[in-house]
Chains A and B, each alone.
Chain A
Amino acid sequence: MSSSTITQIASPGDPAPHGAPRQPRRRGAREGGRAGRYVRLVIAIVASAIVFFPLYWMVVIAFSPRGDLFRPGGVQLVPSSLSLENFVTVFQRFPVADWFLNSVVIGAFVTALTVTVNLLAGYAFARIRFPGRNVLFLLALATMMIPVQAIMIAQFRLVAGLQIYGTYWSVILPGAAAAFGLFLARQFFLSIPQELIEAARIDGAGHVRTFTRIVLPLSKPLIAVLTLLTLLGSWNDFAWPLIALKDNALFTLPIGLLYLRGQSTPDFSASMALALISVLPMVVLFLVFQRYFVQGFARSGIR
């Protein structure tokens, strides 16, 4: 039942699958329907403009010549001249390429690990009976709600004890212990018809074979959602990498961004250039895979 509602919100690009049947009624039954439509359009434009403005402004500042921000005329709403100075500066003064690469490497490892574990464990919770299953599952769900502030000091001592403090692993390993995907995976596997799995079992397939031959091929949408959301979370993660990474060259982009902020003279223009670099990959991914992102947000209740 929820899957049909999700698919509807999941395709915001398509023209009104559910609004369509209401359309004639609205027009006919209500006087002023046309005016109402214009009012709605204006409200939507204003709201979107407000939401979009900060991102637009970031782009404008990033591409404006350095120093424009502090000149009397300042940066114009529609820039009169474009320049790449800010990008050149930020690449020259900071190891931005390293930061970008770090974000990619950590994101890739965290995502691969998390998705694999969540798929396997989700299948176990959905389809394999073992003692304590429900208790363990509830425990895993509870960890979803644990704030980083509650465990950051414990984790810090833990990674220090494991002697991985300050390395990639100190970010990757705790990052991979995220349970939200487990919840999604279990729900998805529960929705696979039991007959399909039983048929495989009768044919003599074990759990592993059933999982790889029957379940996984059916799970592409699930894998897409899990991959995108995990990658997004890792890419934007802040509090923990801030604690775990000390070496400038190992910073991820968000930590690098904060590093720029901490400079004695705040360089807003360069910051906006770096901010743009840091958000662009996720914005592109979002625009391409919007369906899966929205599905994931709506189902897991995380962002």
Chain B
Amino acid sequence: MLLMSVFLFVPIVFAIQLSFQQSQGFGAPEWVGAANYSRMLSDPVFWQSLRNTLLFTIVTVPIEMAGGLALAVLMNSVLPARGVFRTIIVLPLVISGVASGMIAVTIFNEGSGIVNKALVAIGMAPVGWQSDGTAAFISVMITAIWLRIGFNMVIYLAGLQSVSPELYEAGRIDGAGRWSLFRYITVPLVGPSSFFLLIMNVIASFQVFDIVFVMTGGGPGFSTSVLGTYAYRNGFQIREQGYGAALGVVILLITLLFTYVQWRTSRSRDLVD
């Protein structure tokens, strides 16, 4: 048994160790110290990718969470055929990022996509989903939200199950309206779920890769470039492996920061319980 657990760790530890060694930078396998990192500071594409990643996170995470909570409350209420609705909303969770990206590319295509056709049909101007950077980024974010909202709903649903119905009853007796019940009972009581989702969504957003890579490849120009695609571009498309590895480490550090925050908080919560 012990041997088995060692068998699991060796590759992982090895990979971590390797990644840290590499992160010190080798262009050719040569020690370049912090050169890769100082290069980052003066690389406008890095800053743009970082800005895009932040923007992506700031826009998608609140929508995913608010939408997930709203759907969870809806699915937790009396509703005919609720199982069918739930199944549909969770379904994108099993669709790969690549397939989602391909579907999105087809739907948002400027010439033949149904979104532009629908826009024209109702008398609006078609949108340059591929040629305009902002529009392209919006289409990527819509796809990301589509992919992740079901996950948020699942977690919130689990959280809602632990809210006792008596609380709502008490609130109602005190004359609280529907919104107050939601605001002062539901929202605080699903706080742990919210926190968990916040962390998980932020981590996922900082690592976003598949859909961006498939939909836009970071373009047009670098207008939809995110840290994940930029690291891949450097590592495997233009063969700047040392720089790519350094970019990967930046993503890793951001991820570990959020993981640490979550670990600390969940630990203190356990102590309180």
Contact = CB atoms under 8 A, between A and B. Distances in A.
Interface of A: 5-6, 8-9, 12-16, 18-19, 21-23, 25-26, 29, 37, 40-41, 43-45, 47-48, 51-52, 54-55, 57-58, 61, 69-70, 74-75, 117-118, 120-121, 123-125, 128, 130, 136, 139-140, 142-143, 145-158, 173-174, 177, 179, 182, 207-208, 211, 232, 235-236, 238-239, 243, 254, 257-258, 260-261, 266, 268, 271-272, 275, 278-279, 282-283, 285-287, 290, 293-294, 297-298, 301, 303
B95 A44 contact: no
Interface residues of B, number: 96
B210 A275 contact: no
Contact of B200 (A9, A286, A301): A301
Contact of B19 (A21, A151, A279, A303): A151
Given A128-B2, A146-B255, A147-B251, A243 B103 contact: no
6 contacts: A19-B82, A75-B114, A130-B2, A153-B241, A238-B213, A258-B98
A29 B196 CA distance: 34
B112 A15 contact: no
Contacts of A69: 112
Contacts of B77: 19, 26, 40
Contact of A120 (B1, B89, B112): B1
Nearest to A120: B4
B16 A143 contact: yes
B78 interface: yes
Interface string B232-249: 100110000100110111
Most A C-beta atoms less than 10 A away, residue of B102, B206, B232, B256? B102
Contact of B165 (A21, A136, A260): A21
B89 A47 contact: yes
Contacts of A158: 14-15, 18
Given A52-B88, A117-B4, A148-B209, A272 B106 contact: yes
Interface string B2-40: 101101110111111011011000000000000000000
Main SS at interface, chain A: helix
B184 interface: no
A262 to B, nearest CB: 10
B203 A145 contact: yes
A29 B248 CA distance: 56
A149 B248 contact: yes
B171 to A, nearest CB: 11
A57 B107 contact: yes
B11 A174 contact: yes
Nearest to B207: A147
Contacts of A37: 78-79
A275 B96 CA distance: 9
A151 B103 contact: no
A25 B99 CA distance: 44
B160 to A, nearest CB: 9
Contacts of A238: 96-98, 209-210, 213
B91 interface: yes
A271 B103 CA distance: 8
Given A8-B161, A124-B5, 4 more contacts: A19-B79, A121-B1, A232-B94, A297-B154
B169 A25 contact: yes
B157 interface: yes
Given A121-B4, A268-B112, A275-B102, A51 B161 contact: no
Nearest to B231: A149
B224 to A, nearest CB: 16
A9 B99 contact: no
Given A40-B74, A51-B88, A278-B96, A149 B14 contact: no
Given A5-B161, A55-B103, A279-B99, A293 B196 contact: no
Q: Pick from A58, A149, A236 the residue with the most CB of B within 10 Å.
A: A149
